[in-house]
Amino acid sequence: MRYQVTVQPSGRQFTAEADETLLDAALRQGLTMPYGCKDGACGACKGHVQSGTVDHGKAQAHALTDEEKAAGMTLYCCAKAQSDLNIECRQITSANQIPAKTLPSRIEKLEKLAPDVIELHLRLPASERLQFLAGQYIDILLKDGRRRSFSLANAPHDDALLQLHIRHVPGGVFTDQVFSTMKVRDILRFNGPHGSFYLREDSPRPMILVAGGTGFAPIKAIVEHAIAENCQRPMLIYWGARARADLYQNALPEQWAAEHTNIRYVPVLSEPAGSDAWSGRSGLVHQAVLADFPDLSDYQVYACGAPVMIEAAKRDFMAQGLPEEEFFADAFSFSSN
């Protein structure tokens, strides 16, 4: 059985299966609602059911009292629809609405995506979840007090494991560990989420998403979130790398473009190896965008990569008409100490 849920005051709607919680259904369809533990214990997702009936599920008594249930309150992380619903819930639309947390995590998986790129999968304690906006990052907390920042490569609806794309920086105090001694079940502490690099969902403008190297991680999160919320805005993805091997998840944006008519993907190599037999675009990735869009005045750009790429992209895109307020960027800088 499937039910329609209308969220007030925004008027947004989503469908919920009878066997899934309202929070899971909303996140699956790209609606970002407040939550904390996802376990019925903290009360962060509490809201009012204006009409319709729900099963309150495993909500714990201290987080949702009998009096609150009688008054129409429920915990969206536990509640399951038993009819069509009207519910009251504010939607999170900016980063400052989400508090940063310091949490432990356990390494669930280490997957080498390229000779110098590892995808790190982190599992949080059963009673914790990290709420974030697609495109934001976390700080890994090192034992000596230093921090290393990495963008989250997964979208908010897919938060069972946190995904990080980590490039090896020779001599880097953290990345050397990732590529040598770090193993599954090791514990890492982090703080987050952070950053203002996230999808502006209220804009109708077509999006150009520009990734350099592992700058693909937050771009991946943004695109997967946009797909989840059935965003129909045109999305034009440009991923730049040195050689073919550096496009370490090339099949994924190819799949997006094949399955969604509003998505186009352009890989660009700056130094293709002879063995790559490369017949695609070559040169600097932002210059490929400039060649394809002589007038950027109607677009919105999300760019993530090395600082030199971000600086050049902003300068040159604005010279071709991109409004400064429509340029959103996350510059990846690497520390070797």
DSSP conformation class of 198: S
Q: What pTM value is reported for the model? A: 0.80
How far apart are the C-alpha atoms of 232 and 219, rounded to whole Å?
17
Give 87's strand partners: 7, 49
- The verdict on whether omega for the bond into residue 9 sits within 30 degrees of 0, i.e. cis, is yes
Fold category of 207-331 in CATH: Rossmann fold (3.40.50)
H or E, element range at 292 = helix 285-292
292: left (phi over 0), alpha (psi -120 to 50) or beta: alpha
How far apart are the C-alpha atoms of 179 and 169, rounded to whole Å?
10
Q: Give the domain ranges of the chain.
A: 2-88, 99-194, 207-331
DSSP conformation class of 237: E
Residue type for 318, please?
M
**Cβ-contact 271, 283 below 8 angstroms:** no
Buried-exposed string 212-251: b where 16+ CB fall within 10 A, e elsewhere: bbbbbbbbbbbbbbbbbbebeeebbbbbbbebbbbbbbbe
Mean pLDDT, the chain, integer: 92
What pLDDT band is residue 10 in, cutting at 50, 70 and 90?
confident
Would the pLDDT of 239 be above 70? yes
For 41-69, the pLDDT digits (tens) are 778 789 999 999 999 999 988 889 999 99
For the domain spanning 2-88, the CATH number is 3.10.20.30
Tokens encoding 228: 């989840």
126 phi, psi to nearest 5 deg: -60, -30
CA atoms within 13 A on the CB side of 255: 8
For 192-227, the pLDDT digits (tens) are 998 889 999 889 999 999 999 999 999 999 999 999
| CATH of region 99-194, choose from 2.40.10.10, 2.40.30.10, 1.10.10.10, 3.40.1440.10 | 2.40.30.10
User: Of 77, 91, 32, which is closest to residue 221 (Cα–Cα)?
Assistant: 32
